[in-house]
């Protein structure tokens, strides 16, 4: 893995030299835009919207649009007047419980590795956080951008999640549809709860795959080889069910085998037995890597 950043974790008066690596990689399939007549890549040139001329890099400045069509120019000397924050330190401010953080705050994930001479202090921080069950809230500057972050432990590794600041999270107040309070019958609630129980399972990341990406790559490989691509058979969705109770009954019947014979070591097995509720202590906290699932799409670039 390529080192993205070198610095130190500031832990009280202790400095822990670390190296940072991206914990995830982009596996999306990217396309380039081509000219349909000769299949040559399309170039993008920076042109002035007024004079139409191509603008060289040394004539490009940064501007802030404070009114429609009106800008102020910000130069390097202007930005230099702002006191520069420490750019090589992950400053721990607080230790909190992971359950207190809503996953909506998480942005990007990085691995932190101790740099030469920092192994003991790194292990000490890891041990202290593991024994207390706490995660650290910190500030860090990456590529001249200040970010909120949290440090947590996964096995032997200190993981850093950059986070959004509270004022970057949009309010859901404008979602009027969620305020509806339709009447729910006891039967509907009971069957919905049973359906959740039937589909309950311990989280195993290895069983989830990007089927769309795999099929898209199969199509690409087939076109390279000049062969026909075998179109996958779509999973039958069944007829349209209008009645909610009917849909719940059909779903329960279809998933009955899933929850009928739970494994002996399945932590959810007791929760699926009639009359037995799972203790809140048995629940798990969704980590950042689970918090914001996305459907990957082929992108142009």
> pLDDT tens digits, residue range 107-134?
999 999 999 999 999 999 999 999 999 9
User: Rounded CA gap, 9 and 140, in Å?
Assistant: 9
User: Rounded CA gap, 280 and 107, in Å?
Assistant: 27
Q: What is the mean pLDDT of residues 216-231?
A: 82
Q: How many CB atoms lie within 10 A of CB 119?
A: 13
pLDDT category at 85 given cuts 50, 70, 90 is low
For residue 167, the model assigns a pLDDT of 93
Residue that wins the pLDDT comparison between 219 and 155: 155
pLDDT category at 84 given cuts 50, 70, 90 is low
Q: What is the mean pLDDT of residues 13-17?
A: 90
**Tens-digit pLDDT profile for residues 273-285:** 444 343 333 333 3
pLDDT category at 83 given cuts 50, 70, 90 is low
Q: Is the dihedral of CA 241, 245, 251, 254 positive or negative?
A: negative
Q: Give all domains of the chain, ordered by start, each with its CATH number.
A: 5-27+82-167 (2.40.290.10), 185-231+242-300 (no CATH)
- Is 60 exceeded by the pLDDT of residue 33? yes
Q: Is the dihedral of CA 255, 260, 263, 269 positive or negative?
A: positive
For residue 242, the model assigns a pLDDT of 61
pLDDT category at 237 given cuts 50, 70, 90 is low
pLDDT category at 86 given cuts 50, 70, 90 is low
**Tens-digit pLDDT profile for residues 149-195:** 999 999 999 999 999 999 999 999 989 888 888 898 999 999 999 99
Residues comprising the chain, all counted: 301
Interior angle at CA 89, CA 170 and CA 117, nearest 5: 140
C-alpha 256: how far from its chain's center? Answer: 32
Is 291 within 8 Å of 106 (Cβ atoms)? yes
Lowest mean pLDDT among 85-99, 105-119, 229-243, 278-292: 278-292
């Amino acid at each position: 893995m390529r080192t993205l950043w070198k610095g130190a974790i500031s832990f009280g008066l202790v400095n822990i030299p670390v190296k940072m690596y991206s914990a995830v990689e982009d596996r999306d399939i990217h396309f380039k835009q081509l000219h349909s007549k000769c299949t040559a890549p399309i170039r993008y040139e920076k042109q002035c919207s007024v004079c139409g001329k191509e603008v060289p890099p040394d004539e490009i400045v940064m501007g802030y649009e404070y009114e429609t069509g009106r800008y102020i120019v910000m130069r390097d000397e202007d930005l230099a007047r702002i006191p520069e924050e420490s750019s090589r330190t992950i400053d721990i401010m607080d230790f909190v419980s992971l359950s207190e953080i809503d996953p909506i705050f998480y942005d990007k994930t990085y691995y932190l590795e101790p740099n030469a001479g920092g192994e003991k202090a790194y292990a000490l921080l890891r041990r202290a956080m593991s024994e207390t069950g706490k995660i650290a809230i910190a500030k860090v500057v990456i590529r001249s951008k200040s970010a909120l972050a949290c440090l947590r432990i996964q096995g032997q590794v200190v993981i850093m999640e950059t986070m959004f600041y509270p004022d970057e999270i949009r309010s859901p107040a404008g979602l009027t549809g969620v305020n509806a309070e339709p009447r729910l019958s006891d039967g509907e609630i009971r069957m919905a709860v049973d359906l959740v129980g039937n589909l309950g399972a311990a989280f195993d990341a290895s069983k989830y795959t990007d089927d769309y990406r795999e099929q898209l790559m199969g199509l690409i490989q087939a076109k390279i080889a000049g062969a026909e691509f075998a179109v996958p058979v779509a999973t039958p969705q069944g007829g349209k069910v209008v009645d909610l109770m009917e849909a719940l009954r059909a779903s329960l019947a279809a998933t009955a085998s899933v929850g009928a014979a739970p494994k002996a070591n399945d932590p959810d097995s007791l929760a699926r037995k009639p009359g037995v509720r799972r203790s809140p202590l048995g629940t798990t906290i969704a980590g950042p890597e689970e918090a914001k699932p996305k459907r990957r799409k082929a992108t142009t670039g």
